[in-house]
Amino acid sequence: MIAETTRALDALQYIPPDLPRDEWVKAAMSAQAAGIQFDDFDEWSSTASNYSASGARSLWESIKPDRGIGAGTLFRMAAEHGWRMDKPQQRASSAPAVSTPAPAPKSQQKPAIAPESLWNRCEPAAAEHPYIIAKRGIREGLRIVGADDTATISGERIAGWLVVPAVSLAGELRTMQLIPPPEVAAKLKAAGKSTKLNLPGASFADGLFVVGDLAQRGYIVEGIGQAWACWQATGCAAVVCFGAGRMATVAELLRNRYPALRLVIVPDSGKEQQAEAIARKVRGEWVEMPDDKPANYDANDYAAEHGAEALAELLSRTKQPAMRYRVLTASDLMDTPPLRWLVRGVLPANGLASIYGASASGKTFLALDMCAAVADGVQWFGCRVSAAPVVYAALEGEHGFRQRVKAWQEHQGRDLPPALRFVMQPFDLRKGSNVADLADAVIASGGGGGLLVIDTLNRAAGGADENSSADMGQLIEAAKTLQSQLGGMLLLVHHSGKDASKGMRGHSSLHAALDAAIEVSRNDDRREWRIAKSKDDGDSATYPFRLVVVEIGMDEHGDPITSCAVMPDDAKGEIRRVLPPKSGNQRIAWDVLGEVLRKAGDVRPKDAPVSLPTGRPVVTLDDALAAIRDRLACDAKRKQERAQQALTGLQAKGLVRVEGSYVWVV
């Protein structure tokens, strides 16, 4: 699926956007059918002389499925402008391949403004240009449109704008990108217009822009700002491809021209899957921005926030497409990146999970509360949370669910986070069209790569027999298909069986297929949730909670309307059945803490937190980390990081408490 979409993006770049409206509409419909996202279609459309941001958006959202135009139409249109479906694969070679520029698209034959004409009358860029200063860039290779130039693009006069040329590897000018000073960009953004303009009627084709010298390594990035940041951080060349939709095209051009060059794809946050697919195709690598960053956060943003040295460290942590078998040394094993979490120790950032329990156990209230925490990026039951967009498909009782939302807001005294959104229509996992439509809706809302909740699995099962291995297998496969199309985590709200001790209702293959599971139980008014399955050996942690009755209005008879909201239950006498970790760095940290706490005795420091129980041994956070660090068997440079991760894991499980500068066992 990803590889096919990458090929479609490549094909789209060969079609001139200055098409008659009916042909432009046809291109949009076929692009959507091929899996292309709106941002890439809009970026391509923006090079047309009659481009309208609102017009492109309206067209895209008006397209309905099954209109009789498929992806084949896109490839046919691209072929008419020089694109070839059967591009040969590059053979491994130690000698440089001969670069053959792609045939010039028809859109280059009569551009509204001739690239050479505009380029020749531009002035050399000055280091004092506001955009160069804002992005901490350099002026080499760039020009500025003269102050007296009267040229306009999309109704905007471009005098004083920075000009980034798109040239072939043979040095032939194809087109150019024009960037306004920051104050002009702010006005354009406020007006809903693009803040970077491409030359109308001129195609990028095989154009790109290189910062630095292509030698041993080349970073492939979307824009000039990211290229500057990567080059300054590493001293290695960075190649501007002018948009995510052209990354595959530029990567292939570089691989064909430089067979031995180490190519590293540096995508904006949220585009990791596309980067992985490109890297796989060109035998390259890719890096990822931190998982707690918003969509479109890029290398330049990271350098501005953390500095060039930190960016160099981030860029050194490249990923390679997985081979079928990978042989690891012990050092490799210890250096593998840690599992990414939405809710630390409870819910991974990617995969398939379930929250289940008996009727009236409070599982839906709990699921809603967790979704609000994820959408807001705030702690949940003491567990660290990474912010992510959330879509909640509430398939049971629209009116009752609306009351639960209102109760949450009344109890919290604020609205639900904007990043939490809802789907209320019926949904059937066993219908491929339903799965595709829901995936499209979630992605269009900005929820791709986040958390999707389906409440409940039974309502989404379309009458399937949950006890049948065949039917459950079909549901699991459909759920995995939906998750793969969206990325991120798919959470199924489900019921427990008649015998709650045996776990979830239905065939056992569901539990086996899950990456995580949360069990919700109730004993009279006491409720608790526990980690029933986890990738981090945390399946013994238990968290008590209670449902608080919230009055949300009055009915027509004047009687109060109530619902409930979740509140952690910290009442005395509750037992948290938490077992110590069995192995790994957390086990080492747990044993080390026991030793240092026994040596510390029960002397209470003068500046100890008021929440420290009387007589409870306590040590400083620095002493705890130092002791743990000394026991870890890993690279010396990673010991501090691993020690912090281990201690954080113990805290997430409720085994220890870290407050201020002190640590103690709960």
Instruction: Give me 10's structure tokens.
Output: 């490549």
Percent of the chain's residues with pLDDT above 90: 40
Q: How confident is the model at residue 394 (pLDDT cuts 50, 70, 90)?
A: very high
Q: How confident is the model at residue 472 (pLDDT cuts 50, 70, 90)?
A: very high
| Interval 102-139: pLDDT, tens | 334 433 445 567 888 899 999 999 988 888 998 889 99
Is pLDDT larger for residue 477 or for residue 87? 477
Report how far residue 69's alpha carbon sits from residue 72's, in angstroms, rounded to the nearest whole number.
8
* DSSP track, 371-407: HHHHHHT--BTTB-B----EEEEE-S-HHHHHHHHHH
Report how far residue 308's alpha carbon sits from residue 299's, in angstroms, rounded to the nearest whole number.
10
Q: Which residues contact 584 (CB under 8 A, 6 or more apart)?
A: 537, 646
The pLDDT value recorded for residue 96 is 30
Report how far residue 100's alpha carbon sits from residue 257's, in angstroms, rounded to the nearest whole number.
9
Helix (H) or strand (E) holding 422: strand 420-423
Predicted confidence (pLDDT) at residue 390 exceeds the cutoff of 60: yes
The pLDDT value recorded for residue 86 is 56
The pLDDT value recorded for residue 298 is 93
Q: How confident is the model at residue 181 (pLDDT cuts 50, 70, 90)?
A: confident
The pLDDT value recorded for residue 98 is 28
Q: Please name the amino acid found at residue 588.
A: I
Q: What is the mean pLDDT of the chain?
A: 84
The pLDDT value recorded for residue 655 is 85
Nearest CA to 10 out of 62, 71, 70, 59 is that of 71
Report how far residue 439's alpha carbon sits from residue 223's, in angstroms, rounded to the nearest whole number.
28
* DSSP track, 439-460: HHHHHHTT-TTSEEEEE-TTTT
The pLDDT value recorded for residue 423 is 94
| Interval 398-415: pLDDT, tens | 778 899 999 999 988 899
Predicted confidence (pLDDT) at residue 1 exceeds the cutoff of 50: no
The pLDDT value recorded for residue 320 is 87
Question: Rg of the Cα trace of the chain?
Answer: 28
Q: What is the dihedral of CA 237, 240, 241, 245, to 10 degrees?
A: 110
Burial class (CB in 10 A: 0-12, 13-18, 19+), 99: middle
Give 274's DSSP letter: H
Contact 637, 614 (CB under 8 A): no
The number of angstroms, rounded, from the C-alpha of 547 to the middle of its chain's C-alpha atoms is: 33
- What SS3 class is residue 656? strand
Predicted confidence (pLDDT) at residue 179 exceeds the cutoff of 70: yes
Predicted confidence (pLDDT) at residue 538 exceeds the cutoff of 60: no
The pLDDT value recorded for residue 78 is 80
| Interval 589-629: pLDDT, tens | 999 998 888 888 877 888 888 777 777 889 999 999 999 99
Contact 554, 545 (CB under 8 A): no
Report how far residue 313's alpha carbon sits from residue 300's, in angstroms, rounded to the nearest whole number.
14
Is pLDDT larger for residue 334 or for residue 368? 368
Nearest CA to 245 out of 277, 270, 222 is that of 222
Q: How confident is the model at residue 347 (pLDDT cuts 50, 70, 90)?
A: very high
Predicted confidence (pLDDT) at residue 332 exceeds the cutoff of 60: yes
Is pLDDT larger for residue 236 or for residue 103? 236
The pLDDT value recorded for residue 6 is 74
| Interval 39-97: pLDDT, tens | 788 877 876 656 777 788 888 888 887 667 888 888 888 877 667 665 433 333 333 33
Phi, psi of 629 (to 5 degrees): -55, -40
Predicted confidence (pLDDT) at residue 241 exceeds the cutoff of 60: yes
Q: Per this entry, what is the length of the chain?
A: 666
| Interval 183-213: pLDDT, tens | 888 888 887 777 788 887 778 888 999 999 8
Q: Which residues contact 637 (CB under 8 A, 6 or more apart)?
A: none
Q: What is the value of pTM for the model shown?
A: 0.43
Q: Which of 297-301, 314-318, 379-383, 579-583 has the lowest mean pLDDT?
A: 579-583
